[in-house]
């Protein structure tokens, strides 16, 4: 069973960023061929290992080192306009995730099955 708690304590109150981190780790595991790395990320996502401990392992650093170096080279070679467009795309994506998480949280807060007043203030369509 996947543990859905935030992977870092600093993300306890930021469900959008917590979801983004989970998605990013899943993408990394899919793109790195090293089975030990895939297993380590799986343990983090399942809540068996915490992210900080996993990050300190040689498995994590040996898998990410080449990816980070390659990304840095690509970024350095990228024209300024392309960098700015990529940054704007990232900001828009994160803003959309925050809006979706905020809407989902508001929807969860709206409904309280134990609140009788809410039931009668907002009756289901069949009772209207």
Backbone angles phi, psi at 123, to 5 degrees: -65, 150
| pLDDT score for 76 | 92
DSSP string, 12-80: TT-HHHHHHHHHHHHHHHHH---HHHHHHHHHHHTTSS-HHHHHTSHHHHHHHHHHHHHHHHHHHHS-H
Which residue bears the tokens 């990050």? 55
Going residue by residue through the chain, which has 128 residues, state the pLDDT in tens, using 9 for 90 and above: 455 777 888 788 888 788 888 999 999 999 899 999 999 999 999 989 999 999 999 999 999 888 889 989 999 999 999 999 999 998 998 888 888 888 877 777 666 666 666 656 666 666 55
How many other β-carbons are positioned within 10 Å of the β-carbon of residue 18? 19
| pLDDT score for 107 | 76
* This prediction's pTM: 0.62
| pLDDT score for 128 | 55
């Amino acid at each position: 069973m996947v543990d859905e708690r935030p992977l870092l304590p600093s993300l306890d109150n930021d469900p959008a960023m917590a979801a983004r981190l989970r998605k990013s780790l899943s993408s990394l595991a899919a793109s790195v061929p090293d089975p030990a790395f895939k297993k380590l990320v799986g343990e983090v996502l399942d809540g068996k290992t915490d992210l900080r401990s996993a990050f300190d392992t040689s498995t994590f650093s040996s898998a990410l080192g080449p990816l980070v170096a390659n990304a840095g080279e690509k970024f350095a070679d990228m024209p300024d306009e392309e960098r700015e467009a990529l940054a704007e795309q990232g900001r828009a994506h994160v803003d959309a995730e925050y809006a979706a998480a905020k809407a989902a949280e508001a929807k969860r807060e709206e409904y309280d099955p134990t609140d009788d007043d809410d039931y009668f203030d907002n009756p289901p369509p069949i009772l209207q």
